[in-house]
Amino acid sequence: MTQSSSDFITLTGARENNLQDVTLRIPKGRLTVFTGVSGSGKSSVVFDTIAVESQRQLNETFTWFVRNRLPKYERPHADALEHLSPAIVVDQRPVGGHSRSTVGTMTDVHSVLRVLFSRHGTPSAGSATAYSFNDPAGMCPGCDGLGRTVRPDWDRILDPARSLAGGAVRFPPFAAGTWQGQAYTNSAELDPDKPVGDFTDAERDFLMRGRPGSKVTVRGSGGTWTTDYEGLADRFERLYLKRDLSATSEKTRDLVGRFVVEGRCPQCGGARLNAAALASRIDGRSLADLCALQVSDLIPVLRRIDDPVARPVAMAAVTALERIEAIGLGYLSLERETATLSGGEGQRLKTVRHLGSSLTGMTYIFDEPSVGLHPRDVGRLGDLLLLLRDQGNTVLVVEHDPDVVALADHVVDMGPGAGTEGGRVVFEGTPAALAASDTVTGRCLGRPTSVRAVPRAATGELWVKGAERHNLRDVTVRFPTGVLTAVTGVAGSGKSTLVAELTGAHEDAVVVDQSSIGVSARSTPATYLGIMDAVRRLFARATGTEPGLFSFNSAGACGTCEGRGVIHTDLAFMDPVTTTCQDCAGRRFKEEVLRLRVDGHSIADVLDMTAGRALTYFTDAGVCRRLRALSEVGLGYLTLGQPLSTLSGGERQRIKLATRLHRTGAVYVLDEPTTGLHLSDVDGLLDLLDRLVDAGNTVVVVEHSLQVVAHADWVVDLGPDGGRDGGRIVFEGTPEELLGAGGSHTAEHLRRAVRGPVSSPVRAL
């Protein structure tokens, strides 16, 4: 049957980011996978062009009043986008990570259970809000619904042998000499030279809690002023205990963590709810008891409810829980905080929301949904993608995983390289044709996986003994030193917990986790690597000026665009418009700064250099070392001044890795370093890991990539499954020995990978 133009999403002349006039026809009602090396332009096509334009045009259907309250999207740089359908984007942005967000609240199952208890719990605590730990009606008054209490460690904060002026307050923000510390050294009620341990009860009470009407005079950069006296304990609790520290900087959290003692709330036992809510039961279980069960165990419990009023509510919860179990997350409990979820777990939970929808004709867009998934679980993900397609939707996926690519009806391969070397379509066709093509992706898909033939010999060993944290079951395991060790297992099997036990015993370990880096339009590779200060000093010395003049965030910034290089115009009810600043031509600096040159280059010229080019320009050893690290992780094509907000997820992961390289420390621990990496980029990562090991370091990686597992010297496999059914060592040995192991999901999939795909030659576009 002949297809009409409306059967395709048509993209003409796309120029967003590094796209080079891309024109595409994407079939509707099909699963299309976008492949290519990291930075090749996949996300620019799918997210920055198709998704943005779909959401922008959808917003145009609303009234001006409504549109002014919706997110505003700028028209993508493209000649035309035709036959779009409404887009639902499931990206990798972390789910709500504050301490009050749980799996139950995120999936709305907890809300259903609250209704269930309000209708069927005995004795009833009241309406559904009476069972909410986020509502005063239901939360535990002892911990405000957090399930844990944090109290100051006064033995650590206060030194009784010292006076206030002599440093008795050891918490840095309140120490003597700081403006907050002056509240105590300047108080007329306290002797600043008297040891705190000699204070009377009244003096101690005043120090900690103050007295109504008490005043104190403090001095700061803005002058001298008199303010209300606030007790040391009151101030500490207000600033650090009565707020969510997860919203503060990592530096602040680490600082406060050294001066507090955290534990399970003694009043609710960690259940978060007040006594009335906890007293309400269904079949002998409280709401907290149900939320503590694994999803797979909670389903049969709710199925047994047969009360005619309660059963419909219970079955609504069962339906949602079965979707969670179907995507491989049955090992989670509803009480699990979302901040502890991996990126892959969070993304799959976001997907659950759409499984029950009967909408058709939609476009579902996924950003590397296989992230954090064991090869065993990728199959379940594939079933989900095919289900959405078969319901009459268009599914677009940005992906590197070969198993996901193999499911596609259509593949678009971007490249041939990254950055300015990418941004073009190099292949369109079927997965089989791609695997047989001569593109970078095709060559990687067409090769079998080979295990390391001769593993390195260990130089020693590190032990984790009797680990029982989370789901680990009295685990004792040896990590050989001087080699590359891969820790594997299905999601929830205990990999990250085991490695946390290892790093906890070796505080000098260099850890690279999956936490996101801070990104903004003003943060760049140069600032993130920490070389910008050295660059500014170099220009200042050579030109006889001040370093601040060479910062687009300070004195040197163009006055018109304030150092942004672009001018963002909000047109109220209309789409916003971003234009290049005409005064600085997008170079961010004042004209008088751009006239100052070192070796013929202005500061803007230097920021326009790629990391590889900059290595030939700079002679400073510290700068070159950091630039070399950027090249070693395959990011030599990035310019020093490129906003981090424009980088892909894989690029951000690698730039973080670059900052950790060459640190002093014999043990490197990396949590899924292949996240966002193309198969060819993984080759470069393995070369880097080999160099670290050959330099005498020990490298431990938590990984699902079979490419990494096969390359390792030693493998520790956990399982056999996740949650309650995991937490045990399934295998220890070399990758070659793993090939013959039984009872291991990793071994089963490694054997398949070693057998490799079958393909025939096909020419790329």
Residue 581 to residue 326: CA distance in whole angstroms: 51
β-strands 475-481, 460-467: how paired?
antiparallel
Q: What is the pLDDT of residue 663?
A: 66
Contact 358, 325 (CB under 8 A): no
Residue 247 to residue 694: CA distance in whole angstroms: 40
Question: Which pTM value belongs to this model?
Answer: 0.81
Residue 152 to residue 142: CA distance in whole angstroms: 15
Residue 337 to residue 102: CA distance in whole angstroms: 4
| Contacts of residue 78, Cβ cutoff 8 Å, sequence gap at least 6 | 11, 12, 13, 14, 15, 16, 49, 53
Residue 530 Ramachandran class (φ > 0 left, ψ -120 to 50 alpha, else beta): left
Would you tell me the crossing angle of helices 311-326 and 343-355 to the nearest 10 degrees? 130
Phi, psi of 578 (to 5 degrees): -115, 125
Residue 764: pLDDT over 70: no
Residue 245 to residue 253: CA distance in whole angstroms: 6
Q: What is 692-715 written as a DSSP string?
A: HHHTT-EEEEE---HHHHHH-SEE
* DSSP-based three-state secondary structure for 205: helix
Mean pLDDT (the chain, rounded): 89
For each of the domains in the chain, give its residue range(s) and CATH number, in order of start.
5-93+341-445 (3.40.50.300), 103-147+266-339 (1.20.1580.10), 149-264 (1.10.8.280), 460-517+665-755 (3.40.50.300), 525-646 (1.20.1580.10)
Grade residue 470 by pLDDT with cuts at 50, 70 and 90: confident
How do residues 643-664 score in pLDDT, each as one tens digit?
888 776 667 878 888 888 776 5
Kindly state the average pLDDT of the residues 263-276: 94
Q: What is the pLDDT of residue 516?
A: 67
Residue 218: pLDDT over 60: yes
Residue 576 to residue 598: CA distance in whole angstroms: 38
Beta bridge partner(s), residue 488: 717
- The first and second tokens of residue 734, run together, are 């070399």
How do residues 490-533 score in pLDDT, each as one tens digit?
988 999 899 999 988 887 888 887 766 766 778 899 999 989 99
Residue 410: pLDDT over 50: yes
Grade residue 573 by pLDDT with cuts at 50, 70 and 90: low
* DSSP-based three-state secondary structure for 420: helix
Please give the single-letter amino acid code of residue 257: G
Contact 601, 539 (CB under 8 A): no
How do residues 677-703 score in pLDDT, each as one tens digit?
889 988 888 998 998 999 899 999 999
Residue 626 to residue 730: CA distance in whole angstroms: 40
Contact 702, 487 (CB under 8 A): yes
Percent of the chain with pLDDT over 70: 94
- The first and second tokens of residue 579, run together, are 């234009």
Residue 354: pLDDT over 90: no
Q: What is the pLDDT of residue 633?
A: 83
**757 or 39, which is more confident?**
39
Grade residue 281 by pLDDT with cuts at 50, 70 and 90: very high
Q: What is the pLDDT of residue 759?
A: 39
Grade residue 351 by pLDDT with cuts at 50, 70 and 90: confident
| Contacts of residue 352, Cβ cutoff 8 Å, sequence gap at least 6 | 107, 320, 323, 324, 327
Q: What is the pLDDT of residue 739?
A: 95
Q: How many CA atoms lie within 13 A of 532 on its CB side?
A: 22
The CB density around residue 635, as the number of other CB atoms within 10 Å, is 27
How do residues 553-572 score in pLDDT, each as one tens digit?
888 999 999 888 888 776 65
Q: What is the pLDDT of residue 677?
A: 85
Residue 147 to residue 166: CA distance in whole angstroms: 38
Q: What is the pLDDT of residue 76?
A: 93
How do residues 337-346 score in pLDDT, each as one tens digit?
988 787 667 7
β-strands 394-398, 31-35: how paired?
parallel
Please report where in the chains the tokens 């409810």 appear, as a residue: 305
Q: What is the pLDDT of residue 125?
A: 95
Beta bridge partner(s), residue 589: 557
Q: What is the pLDDT of residue 567?
A: 85
Grade residue 676 by pLDDT with cuts at 50, 70 and 90: confident
Residue 761: pLDDT over 70: no
How do residues 25-80 score in pLDDT, each as one tens digit?
999 999 999 999 988 999 999 999 999 999 999 988 988 888 878 888 889 999 99
Lowest-pLDDT range of 125-134, 345-354, 736-745: 345-354
Please report where in the chains the tokens 């940005």 appear, as a residue: 398
Phi, psi of 727 (to 5 degrees): 80, 15
Identify which of 155, 168, 171, 152 has the alpha carbon closest to the alpha carbon of residue 238.
152
